[in-house]
Amino acid sequence: MTVTTYTLAPQGPTDLLGRRVAARLSEGTQQLPHAVSERLRAARVRAVANRKLEVASPLRGYALAGAGRLVDEGLSLWGRLASAVPMVVLAAGLVTIHVIQNDLRASEVAEVDAALLIDDLPPEAYADAGFVRFLKSSE
């Protein structure tokens, strides 16, 4: 059985930790059956190949358009419109809530004003502290 070792220049403490873990795992591979070690070798080769693909294409989903500009290929016109719809709905909901609350406040003020104008008492009576205590005690 051949053990493949990869030599890379150390890049930091995490690289050193990774090398130590790999060394410990490599020690145990000497005792494994040949079929298991071959499956591990194949998995290692696939993992390294996948890692190289990920590192090689960090701009996946983007394409170069004239003069080296990046263009996002992920969203079409309908996709962009669909992503804007929740914001429009939220704004419309907030405006609706604001209008409804203003109407409720205006109707409450109108009720109080109507009660004051229709009542037999003059408005100065409501400003009198003794009359307010009388109203509270009679309730």
Range of the domain at 35: 1-60
Structure confidence by residue, pLDDT tens digits, 20-39? 877 877 777 777 788 888 88
Cα 8 from chain centroid (whole Å): 37
pLDDT at 94 > cutoff 70: yes
Boundary (domain end) residue, out of 40, 60, 80: 60
CA atoms within 13 A on the CB side of 115: 7
Residue 103 located in a structural domain: yes
Q: Which residue has the tokens 């003020």?
A: 109
Total count of domains within the chain: 2
pLDDT class of 85 with cuts at 50, 70, 90: very high
Task: Name, in order, each residue with C-beta under 8 angstroms of 65's C-beta and a sequence gap of 6 or more.
Answer: 71
Same domain, 55 and 3: yes
Q: Which residue has the higher pLDDT, 25 or 87?
A: 87
In a domain, 73, yes or no: no
d(CA 116, CA 120): 8
Q: Are residues 52 and 3 part of one domain?
A: yes
